Amino acid sequence: LMAPVQRISKYQLMLKDLAKQTARADIESPDLDSAVEVMLEIPRRADSAIALDLVDHSHNMEKEHGELLLQDAFNTWDKSKKKSAGSGERLVFLFDNLVLLTKKRRVDTPGEMARYVIKHKLKASELMLTAEVDNDPRRFLLTAGKPNNAQEKIVFQAKNVTIKMAWMNAIQTLLTEQLIRLKEQKISNGADKPISRSLSLFERGSSSLFEK
């Protein structure tokens, strides 16, 4: 018998075929379209959960920092003065409230499964996104920290443009959602200084998506 996880690919093919048939018949099927999206999402979520389990001290990450949205390997360059994140290959996780950079731990025993250690964290509430870096279509820049303090600047290079765009779209969505929440909070609470500073920061982060 096939394990449940092995059946997912068969379910995907079956639902995709049904969606094609209904489209040819000019039949609207929003529920079927949603089912296809769900089945395509399950393997990605499973892969992300497995990858997160390989990171030391990561058990409460989703509880503390929100839903795990994406995970991919990047080459990174720390352009900050402190160089806290370092440079090199990093397995990076995007949560609702955090960007987590991890580094592969040295394996001393042959055959031992690779594990990762937490190298650096970037708060989503302080992020600014620059879409193009060094004329490389695979790269983007994340700047974190308030303007009055020492800002961190990390360049990320994805394996391909598709991965880069997935991350940029997800980060921009987070920035937009948080900007909306801050504006709503500002309206309900009045012009509070900390909120105003955060709002200004988010607006710069949102607009910097199109920076060159």
Q: What is the pLDDT of residues 96-139, one digit of tens each?
A: 999 999 999 877 777 777 889 999 999 988 899 999 899 999 99
Residue 194's pLDDT is 52
Of 9-18, 57-66, 77-86, least confident by mean pLDDT is 9-18
Residue 5's pLDDT is 57
More confident site: 136 or 211: 136
Report how far apart, in Å, the C-alpha atoms of 186 and of each of 31, 59, 124, 193 are. Answer: 37, 34, 19, 10
Quote the CA–CA distance of 4 and 24 in Å, as a whole number. Answer: 30
Residue 209's pLDDT is 43
More confident site: 157 or 195: 157
Tell me: pLDDT of 94 over 80. yes
Q: What percent of the chain has pLDDT over 90?
A: 34
Are 54 and 116 in contact by the 8 Å Cβ rule? The answer is: yes
Helix H segments across 84-155? none
Residue 165's pLDDT is 95
Q: What percent of the chain has pLDDT over 70?
A: 81
pLDDT band at 3 (very low <50, low <70, confident <90, very high): low
Q: Average per-residue pLDDT in the chain? A: 80
Residue 171's pLDDT is 94
* Secondary structure letter of residue 85 according to DSSP: S
Can you tell me whether residue 133 is helix, strand or coil?
strand
Task: Say whether pTM exceeds 0.75.
Answer: no
Quote the CA–CA distance of 57 and 68 in Å, as a whole number. Answer: 15
CA terminus-to-terminus distance, the chain: 53
Residue 136's pLDDT is 95
